[in-house]
Amino acid sequence: MNGVSSLRLYRSRLGCLVGKLQIAKETPDDQLVDAARGGDREAFRELVERYQHRVHSVAMGILGNFEDARDITQEAFIKAHRNLGSFRRQSSFYTWLYRITFNLAIDERRKRFRHVEQQTAETEEFDRAAHVGSHLNEPAPSLASSPDRVFADRELGRAIADAMTELSPEHRAVITLREIEGMSYAEISEVVGCSKGTVMSRLHHARKRLQRALMQRNIRPGSAALDEDEEKQRDIRQ
């Protein structure tokens, strides 16, 4: 085979590979779930690639510990794979996956606090660990930003991560699902297993407590915070 023929064959194979990757990225979740149910490992691997960072973000929001969140992420996907047959499509796949993650993370938190109570004193490990990986959910600062602005953004990120540790797991969950994942009230209610009204109430109180915690750190939430009435209208449009 001459050089020209080899180059053409290479381009052809590369084109097929790129095409398959493109199809995989555009394949709806439902089709991937059906394929995974049939034993297609690549289909489930695509679902993992699609949602692993977001699942880790949810677990991190509840646990505040990078390593624990990574363990919960792995456990959530293992459990999801084992229970694909019970997925009834009453909700989207990612909502179902987030609910698995939420339940596992909440159980882990409860185990942790039971262990702490047995030791009669709560350590500061959780607070320190909350700072580790606290930048996972922060937007990357622009290269054009001034050093002072970059420093201020990082300080704000640390303060928010620190303040989040004062919230209950349930409040941290709704804040994470709403503010980071951008989920609707209805979707959050499916994930956490409570009514839409309860979700709205938890979110309202979580924001108030987070604001108080930030003010105690001499940080005033700016005007960038979304007005709740405006947010409700946005949620209705969703």
CATH number for the domain harbouring residue 59: 1.10.1740.10
- Confidence bin at 113 (pLDDT 50/70/90): low
Please give the tally of structural domains in the chain.
Answer: 1
Q: Is 17 contained in some domain? A: no
* The dihedral formed by the CA atoms of 48, 111, 179 and 219, expressed in degrees to the nearest 10: -140
Q: Is 5 contained in some domain? A: no
HSE, side-chain direction, 13 A CA sphere, residue 56:
17
Q: Is 100 contained in some domain? A: yes
Write the CA distances from 163 to 1, 127, 128, integer angstroms.
66, 9, 12
What's the confidence (pLDDT) of residue 21?
A: 45
Domain that holds residue 64: 22-237
Kindly report, residue by residue over 120-162, the tens digit of the pLDDT: 444 455 454 444 444 444 444 443 445 555 455 677 777 888 8
Burial classification of residue 207, based on how many CB atoms lie within 10 Å of its CB (0-12 exposed, 13-18 middle, 19 or more buried): buried
- Confidence bin at 90 (pLDDT 50/70/90): confident
Q: Is 7 contained in some domain? A: no
Q: Is 195 contained in some domain? A: yes
Q: Is 6 contained in some domain? A: no
Kindly report, residue by residue over 199-229, the tens digit of the pLDDT: 999 999 999 998 888 888 887 765 444 445 4
Distance CA 76, CA 47 (A): 12
Query: Which residues, in sequence order, are CB contacts of 196 under 8 Å at separation 6+?
Result: 185, 186, 189
For the chain, the maximum distance between any two Cα atoms, rounded to a whole number of angstroms, is: 77
What's the confidence (pLDDT) of residue 202?
A: 94
Q: Is 2 contained in some domain? A: no
- Confidence bin at 1 (pLDDT 50/70/90): low
pTM over the 0.75 mark: no
Name the 3-class secondary structure at 67.
helix
Q: What is the mean pLDDT of residues 51-80?
A: 94
Distance CA 225, CA 59 (A): 24
Q: What is the mean pLDDT of residues 97-119?
A: 80
Please check the confidence at residue 93 and state whether its pLDDT lies above 90: yes
Q: What is the mean pLDDT of residues 103-128?
A: 66
178 and 186 Cβ atoms separated by less than 8 Å: no
Q: Is 32 contained in some domain? A: yes
- Confidence bin at 16 (pLDDT 50/70/90): very low
Q: Which stretch of 19-23, 26-30, 100-104, 156-160 has the lowest confidence by average pLDDT?
A: 19-23
Tokens of 72: 């919960």
